[in-house]
Amino acid sequence: MSLLDLYDLSLRGRRDTPALDVDGPDGRVRTLTFGELDARSDRLARLLAARGFTQGDRLAFCLPNRLAIIDLWLAAVKLGVIVVPINVLYKGREIAHIIGDAEPKASITTAEHAADFPEGATLWDVDDVEREAAALPDGRIGARGGADTPAALVYTSGTTGVAKGAVLTQGNFAANALALVSAWGITSSDRYLAALPLFHVHGLGNGVQSWLASGCHMRLKERFHHEQALDWFEAYRPTLFFGVPTMYVRLLDAPPARARAVGATMRLFVSGSAPLPAQTLEAFAERFGHVILERYGMTETLMNVSNPLVGERRAGTVGLPLPLVAVEIRDPEGAPVAEGTVGELWVRGPNVCAGYWRRPDATAAAFRDGWFRTGDIGVRSADGYITLEGRRSDLIISGGFNLYPREIEELLLAQPGIREAAVVGEPDPLKGEVPVAYLVCDVAPDARALDAALRSQVASFKVPREFRRVEALPRTALGKVQKHLLAGLAR
- Whole-angstrom distance, CA of residue 53 vs CA of residue 383: 50
HSE toward the beta carbon, residue 351, CA cutoff 13 A = 31
- Whole-angstrom distance, CA of residue 260 vs CA of residue 70: 32
* Closest to ligand AMP by CB, 41 or 301: 301
- Whole-angstrom distance, CA of residue 391 vs CA of residue 307: 20
Window of 64-72, 76-84, 294-302, 329-337 that interacts with ligand AMP by CB under 6 A:
294-302
* Closest to ligand MCA by CB, 79 or 318: 318
Name the nearest CA neighbour of 48 among 100, 108, 110, 117.
108
Residue of the chain from 62, 327, 388, 418 that contacts ligand AMP (CB under 6 A): 388
We find the least distance from the C-beta atom of residue 417 to ligand MCA, in angstroms, to be 25
Residue of the chain from 34, 90, 192, 224 that contacts ligand MCA (CB under 6 A): 224
Residue of the chain from 203, 238, 319, 321 that contacts ligand MCA (CB under 6 A): 203
Residue 163 φ/ψ, nearest 5 degrees: -70, 140
* Closest to ligand AMP by CB, 210 or 299: 299
| Residue 284 binds ligand AMP, judged by CB under 6 A | no
Distances (CA, A) of 74 to 42, 275, 384, 437: 8, 32, 37, 42
Terminal CA-CA length for the chain: 60
HSE toward the beta carbon, residue 114, CA cutoff 13 A = 13
How many C-beta atoms surround the C-beta of residue 224 within 10 A? 23
| Total of chain residues touching ligand AMP, rule CB under 6 A | 17
Helix pair angle (34-50, 67-79), 10° resolution: 60
Q: Which of residues 148-207 bind ligand AMP (CB under 6 A)?
A: 156
* Closest to ligand MCA by CB, 10 or 246: 246
Burial of 132 (0-12, 13-18, 19+ CB in 10 A): middle
410 alpha carbon, distance to own chain's centre: 25
We find the least distance from the C-beta atom of residue 477 to ligand AMP, in angstroms, to be 29
- Whole-angstrom distance, CA of residue 350 vs CA of residue 448: 47
Given a contact cutoff of 8 angstroms between Cβ atoms, the answer to whether 193 and 232 are in contact is yes
Choosing among ligand MCA, ligand AMP, none, which partner's interface includes residue 226 (Cβ < 5 to 8 Å by kind)? ligand MCA
Residue of the chain from 88, 151, 240, 327 that contacts ligand MCA (CB under 6 A): 88
Window of 101-109, 246-254, 270-278, 309-317 that interacts with ligand AMP by CB under 6 A:
270-278
Choosing among ligand AMP, ligand MCA, none, which partner's interface includes residue 460 (Cβ < 5 to 8 Å by kind)? ligand MCA
Choosing among ligand MCA, ligand AMP, none, which partner's interface includes residue 391 (Cβ < 5 to 8 Å by kind)? ligand AMP
Window of 131-139, 297-305, 347-355, 408-416 that interacts with ligand AMP by CB under 6 A:
297-305
We find the least distance from the C-beta atom of residue 123 to ligand AMP, in angstroms, to be 26
Choosing among ligand MCA, ligand AMP, none, which partner's interface includes residue 388 (Cβ < 5 to 8 Å by kind)? ligand AMP
| Residue 196 binds ligand MCA, judged by CB under 6 A | yes
Residue whose C-beta lies closest to ligand MCA: 399
How many C-beta atoms surround the C-beta of residue 466 within 10 A? 14
Residue type, 412: L
- Whole-angstrom distance, CA of residue 193 vs CA of residue 256: 21
Residue of the chain from 8, 21, 42, 294 that contacts ligand AMP (CB under 6 A): 294
| Residue 253 binds ligand MCA, judged by CB under 6 A | no
Contacts of 365 (CB under 8 A, 6+ apart): none
Residue of the chain from 40, 58, 191, 202 that contacts ligand MCA (CB under 6 A): 202
Residue of the chain from 186, 262, 298, 454 that contacts ligand AMP (CB under 6 A): 298
Choosing among ligand AMP, ligand MCA, none, which partner's interface includes residue 275 (Cβ < 5 to 8 Å by kind)? ligand AMP
488 alpha carbon, distance to own chain's centre: 33
Distances (CA, A) of 310 to 89, 108, 267, 273: 37, 42, 12, 22
- Whole-angstrom distance, CA of residue 464 vs CA of residue 53: 41
Binding site for ligand AMP (CB under 6 A): 156, 272-275, 294, 296-299, 318, 374, 376, 388, 391, 397, 402
Binding site for ligand MCA (CB under 6 A): 64, 88-89, 196-197, 200-203, 223-224, 226, 244, 246-247, 250, 272-273, 297-299, 399-401, 430, 460
